[in-house]
Structures are given as structure tokens and as C-alpha cells.
Chains A and B, each alone.
Chain A
Amino acid sequence: KQEVTQIPAALSVPEGENLVLNCSFTDSAIYNLQWFRQDPGKGLTSLLLIQSSQREQTSGRLNASLDKSSGRSTLYIAASQPGDSATYLCAVWNSGNTPLVFGKGTRLSVIA
């Protein structure tokens, strides 16, 4: 059974810092991995999708990497801003017709 772990559970940083959020998964036979952002009381917004054949994806100040063999992904946020404050969720997909399995998320606070 796939399990996803995110470390740290919460993180508080001053504005402008670069930061890394970690995600690990127990079954390395994944189809793809997706990072989401969730603002309080809101739904999930997709940030980056990494297919199993890819090593990384970039969007603006966000960069996500994937190492399937070690069961790990990292989300790198450059030059953090207060608007980045949210919960970041990592989820993995084991095949085209199976559901996403989520971690518990990392709650990020960027202090101005």
C-alpha cells in the first residue's frame, strides 16, 4: 500500500529565503507525482506535475524534482514571499486508473 510522508509538517521562514519541502513515498513504481497548494478553507491548486520519466519540472519560482529509485521528491521555492504562505501537498499516482495518494502536507508561513 502506497504511503506518502511530508517533512517538515510546518515551516516558518522570513521573506526572501529559498526553501525546500520534502516528500517521500514507499512504492517507487509511480506513474507520476503532483504538487498542490491549498489556501485555508479552499480547494487544491495544482502547482507541478512530474511524469515518471521526468526528473524535474519548473514553473516560475518553483522547481520540483523526482528521484523514483529513492522514493523522494522535493519542492524548491526561490525567494519566498508572504503570498506563498499556504499548505503544500504532495501526491503520487501509481497507474493511470488509480487514485492519487496524498501526504499530510507542509504548512508554510512566510513572514514579511
Chain B
Amino acid sequence: EAGVAQSPRYKIIEKRQSVAFWCNPISGHATLYWYQQILGQGPKLLIQFQNNGVVDDSQLPKDRFSAERLKGVDSTLKIQPAKLEDSAVYLCASSTGQGYGYTFGSGTRLTVV
């Protein structure tokens, strides 16, 4: 079974620039999550999708972050404009939503300078 694919693996941008991350979940997983992990912290949920609908985006900074999941499969997360404090690892995960656990991708490490 293929895992959760994410790209790019690394990204360095200047503050006020924009950036986009891509995620392809495990086939058949209806639920997709984006997490932000700041160095030394546990991952924090940004947004949760069920198929192509948003279930929870209460912690997404909507003035600069946006996310979409087209056709209930791939997802993109965008930051515009980026701030220094957005430097983190952005993790995508998927699950069947039926208590069988999450599978995470390798993450995208973003550095904002």
C-alpha cells in the first residue's frame, strides 16, 4: 500500500512571499488532515477534511493560510504572505476515520527568512 505523499520536502522562502504544499493521501482514505509542527512541539491541527468538505478549520490562520481538497483526493495548503513564525514542518495525514489510526507523510520543512 502506498503511503501518504507530500511535496516538496524542503522549502526556504523570504517573509511576505507565498508558498504551497501538496499532499496525496492513501487511496480510499476519506479523512485528510494538515498539521503544523514547530520545533520542539507536538503537531497541531490546522485543518481536517472529510472527502472534499471541511470538518474543522478552527485553528487555521485564515488571514494567511488556505487549503483545499479537490475531488476528495489530493490537497494543497497555501500560505500567503508568509511570516517568520510560520517556519515549521507541515505534516499531512490521512485515515479511514474509523478508529484504525492515522498515516502521516514525510512532511514539508518550511523555513521563512
Contacts and interface: CB of A to CB of B under 8 A. Distances in A.
Interface of A: 4, 31-32, 34, 36, 41-46, 49, 51, 89, 91, 93, 96-105
A96 B102 CA distance: 11
B113 interface: no
A-B CB proximity, top 7 nearest: A102-B42, A44-B104, A43-B106, A49-B101, A43-B107, A99-B45, A104-B42
Interface of B: 6, 31, 33, 40-45, 48, 50, 55-56, 89, 91, 93, 97-107, 109
A93 B103 contact: no
B99 A44 contact: no
A104 B43 CA distance: 8
A105 to B, nearest CB: 6
Contact of A42 (B97, B102, B106): B106
Nearest to B56: A99
Contacts of B45: 99-101
B99 A32 contact: yes
A8 to B, nearest CB: 14
Contacts of B106: 42-43
B41 A41 contact: no
Contacts of B101: 32, 34, 46, 49
B42 A105 contact: yes
A17 to B, nearest CB: 25
Contacts of A46: 101-104
Which of A32, A89, A96 has its CB near the most chain B CB atoms (within 10 A)?
A: A96
A100 B91 CA distance: 13
A49 B95 CA distance: 13
B99 A93 contact: yes
Given A99-B33, A99-B45, 10 more contacts: A4-B42, A31-B99, A34-B101, A43-B105, A46-B102, A91-B102, A96-B99, A100-B33, A102-B42, A104-B42
